[in-house]
């Protein structure tokens, strides 16, 4: 059973996270030839103050 862990900056809508989960699940199901109910996806929100790029904290999610 595949387990996918995704970490993203907090602030993304539930609708967006649902879509990410759906697409990841579909892709793995297709490639691995597994039923969708065998694939687990967890999305973890990370505060911008705990997410660093080039040694600096990120404050807002990109592309939201």
Catalytic residue flag (residue 2): yes
Residue 60 lies in a domain: no
The pTM is what? 0.82
**What is the DSSP code string of 1-64?**
--EEEEEEETT--HHHHHHHHHHHHHHHHHHHT--GGG-EEEEEEE-GGG-EETTEE--S-TT-
In the block, tokens 């687990």 appear at 40
Query: What is the number of structural domains in the chain?
Result: 1
The whole domain housing 12 covers 3-51
The pLDDT tens digits along the chain (64 residues) read 999 999 999 999 999 999 999 999 999 999 999 999 999 999 999 998 899 999 888 875 555 5
Residue 41 lies in a domain: yes
Q: Are 3 and 27 in contact (CB under 8 A)?
A: no
Which of 2, 35, 57, 61 is catalytic? The answer is 2
Q: What is the CATH number of the domain that holds 7?
A: 3.30.429.10
Residue 10 lies in a domain: yes
Residue 8 lies in a domain: yes
Residue 45 lies in a domain: yes
């Amino acid at each position: 059973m595949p387990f996918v862990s995704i970490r993203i900056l907090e602030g993304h809508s539930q609708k967006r996270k649902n879509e990410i989960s759906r697409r990841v699940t579909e892709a793995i199901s297709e490639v691995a030839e597994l039923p969708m109910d065998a694939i687990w996806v967890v999305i973890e929100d990370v505060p911008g103050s705990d997410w660093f790029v080039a040694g600096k904290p990120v404050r807002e999610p990109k592309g939201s």
